[in-house]
Amino acid sequence: MDRLGELEQLRRRAGRISARLCDLIEGNLPPDDNDPLSRLADPVLAFTRVATAIRRIVALEEQIDEDAETRAERLAEEAAKKAAAKAAAETARAADSFHKTIRVNRHVTRKFLRDDIRARDGDMTRVHREMLLNDLTADLDDLDYVGDPDALIAQLAKELDDIVGPPPVNGGAAPRPKPPRGWKPVSAQDVSALLVQNVDTVRRRLSRMADG
């Protein structure tokens, strides 16, 4: 039995004693030498003391009730904080994984473009080639490096066709580079982390889609 149960049981007993004392004081309790109440020298004083004890028991019950409620609220608050911290840690982990994947995909894309430019124009200087690379990728954001790379590569290759010209096709020309190797897929969880932490990136992408 818990503390509240014990107090309730004690309060009920004190209530029964109080009722019998009241009957004794009012003369409604028949004399009984075996009844301890009948031997009380001052039943009114005893009644007052029992009534005071009952009030204290009730106050203690209310205090314990309040303490239990406060404790429940504290435990619920602690659980909510732990859940929020766990969710934040998971979001941070997913975001870190996402950005690492994006860095890899950005790197292999630039490597592909660098090799493709060499295949198209072997005489282009390194400085000119890097400037062209930067121009080609300047408008790309993280979402461009998510999913299948074929569409992105096709888009960039078309831009190179317009800027540098198509790749050579005769037998003596350098072969066109293969699609990028090492491209990493991005999980849905990592994309969710991007949506949480990079709202501005998503807005820019939606704006570009609307303008297009």
Two tokens at 171?
Answer: 């037998």
Q: Which of 18-22, 36-40, 189-193 has the weakest average pLDDT?
A: 189-193
Mean pLDDT of the chain: 79
Domain that holds residue 51: 3-76
Say if 65 falls within a structural domain: yes
Residue 174, pLDDT > 50, answer no
Q: Does the residue 82 lie in any domain? A: no
Residue with tokens 């949480």: 196
Q: Mean pLDDT over residues 110-121, rounded?
A: 86
pLDDT confidence band for 86 (50 / 70 / 90) = confident
Query: Is residue 69 over pLDDT 50?
Result: yes
Residue 63 lies in a domain: yes
Query: Is residue 114 included in any domain, yes or no?
Result: no
Burial class (CB in 10 A: 0-12, 13-18, 19+), 113: buried
For position 117, what pLDDT does the model report? 87
Beta carbons within 8 Å of 112's beta carbon, 6+ residues apart: 153, 177, 179, 180
Give the mean pLDDT of 129-148: 85
Number of structural domains, the chain? 1
Would you tell me the crossing angle of helices 188-197 and 43-120 to the nearest 10 degrees?
Answer: 100
Higher pLDDT, 93 or 196: 93
Q: What is the pLDDT of residue 192?
A: 65
In a domain, 187, yes or no: no
With respect to residue 88, please indicate whether it lies within any of the assigned structural domains. Answer: no
138 in a domain, yes or no?
no
Q: Name the pTM for this structure.
A: 0.50
Using the predicted structure, report yes or no on whether residue 81 has a pLDDT greater than 80. yes
* 103: Cβ contacts below 8 Å, ≥ 6 apart: none
Say if 60 falls within a structural domain: yes
Mean pLDDT of 153-172: 78
Instruction: Give the model's pLDDT for residue 170.
Output: 59
